[in-house]
Amino acid sequence: MAEIIDGKKISAEIKEELKEKVASLKSQGIEGCLAVVQVGDDPASCVYVRNKKKACEYIGIKSKSYELPAETTQEELLKLIGQLNEDASVNGILVQLPLPSHIDEKTIINGISPKKDVDGFHPESVGSLTIGQPGFVSCTPAGIIELLKRSHVNIDGKNCVIVGRSNIVGKPMALLMLRENATVTITHSHTKNLQDICKTADILIVAIGKNKFITGDYIKEGAVVIDVGIHRDENNKLSGDVKFDEAEKKASLITPVPGGVGPMTIAMLMYNCVKAMTGMKD
C-alpha cells in the first residue's frame, strides 16, 4: 500500500518558512505587495482570489484587490496592468483566469512585467525556465517539485512520464523534471500506447483533466504517482485524474485529491511573491 504525500502539511510548512522570511525582509525595510486583479464574478474565481488574499495576509504581505466588472474592455485592463507595472509599491501582479471571452488572455499575460509575473505565465518566464535562467516558475509544477523533494524522492536519473502537455502544468513540469536530471517523456491525446509508456514511469505525473482516467493498469509496481486533476461530483466530493483506490495498491508514494497537489499551488504563489520582493533571488 502506498504512502500518502500530504500536500496540506507540506504547503503549511512552506507558508511557515515564507512567513519567517517576510518578517526578516520587513526588518530590512522590504515590504511585499501582491496586486490581485479579477474581472467579473465567476464563483470559482472568487474562491481562488479570496484564498490567495488570505495566504498573503498569513505570510505578512499586503494584497491590493482590483475587482472589475465583467464588461471591462481589454484596453481598460491593459491600462490598469500598465499602471501596476509602474507602481513601485507593487511587486507581484496576478490576473485571475479565466477572463471573459472578449478579452484575449495571451495579450493580458504578455502585458504583465516579467519582473512581477508571479504566476510564471509570461513568455519571458517560460523562456527563462527553458534555458535555465532565473525567473518565475508556474506554481503547480513548482509545487510538485517541492512535494517530491520534501518526500525525499530521488529524481536524478529516474524515468518520469508526464500525461498532459498544457502550458500551465504539463510543459513546465517536463522542463522542471529535466532540470532535476530525470529522463522525461511527455504524453498527450495523440500518444499511442499510453498505458505501456506510463508503465515505464518511476515517477508518473498526471494532468489530463479526465476523472479517474489512470487506473492501476497504467502504474508500475513501486512508482511515485502525482495526480494534478481536480474534479467535483454532484455531492461536491473531489477526485483526481487517477483512480486512487487502484493506484494506491501499486504505487510506493501517491498524492491524494484533495490534499495533494492542490494546496501546493497557493504556497508556491506565495513563494513567487517573496521572490518578487527580493528581486528574483531564491
The one catalytic residue among 52, 171, 212, 220: 52
Tell me which residues in 243-262 interact with ligand NDP (CB under 6 A): 261-262
Residue with cell 466530493: 237
Of the pair 62, 231, the CB lying nearest ligand NDP is at 231
Q: Which string of x and - marks every residue 83-122 that binds ligand NDP (by CB under 6 A)?
A: ----------------------------------------
For residue 123, say if its preceding peptide bond is cis, omega within 30 degrees of 0. no
Contact status: 166 vs ligand NDP (CB under 6 A): yes
The answer to whether residue 52 is catalytic is yes
Of the pair 151, 191, the CB lying nearest ligand NDP is at 191
The one catalytic residue among 6, 21, 38, 96: 96
Who contacts 234 (Cβ-Cβ below 8 Å, separation ≥6)?
none
Tell me if residue 150 falls in helix, strand or coil. helix
CA 214 centroid distance within chain: 21
Of the pair 84, 204, the CB lying nearest ligand NDP is at 204
Q: Which of 38, 63, 128, 140 binds ligand NDP (CB under 6 A)?
A: 140
Tell me which residues in 167-226 interact with ligand NDP (CB under 6 A): 168-170, 187-191, 194, 207-210
Q: Report the distance separating Cα 219 and Cα 204, nearest Å.
A: 8
Q: Report the distance separating Cα 202 and Cα 225, nearest Å.
A: 8
The answer to whether residue 249 is catalytic is no
Q: Report the distance separating Cα 112 and Cα 272, nearest Å.
A: 15
The one catalytic residue among 119, 202, 227, 241: 119
Which are the catalytic amino acids?
52, 96, 119
Residues that bind ligand NDP (CB under 6 A): 140, 163-166, 168-170, 187-191, 194, 207-210, 228-230, 261-262, 265
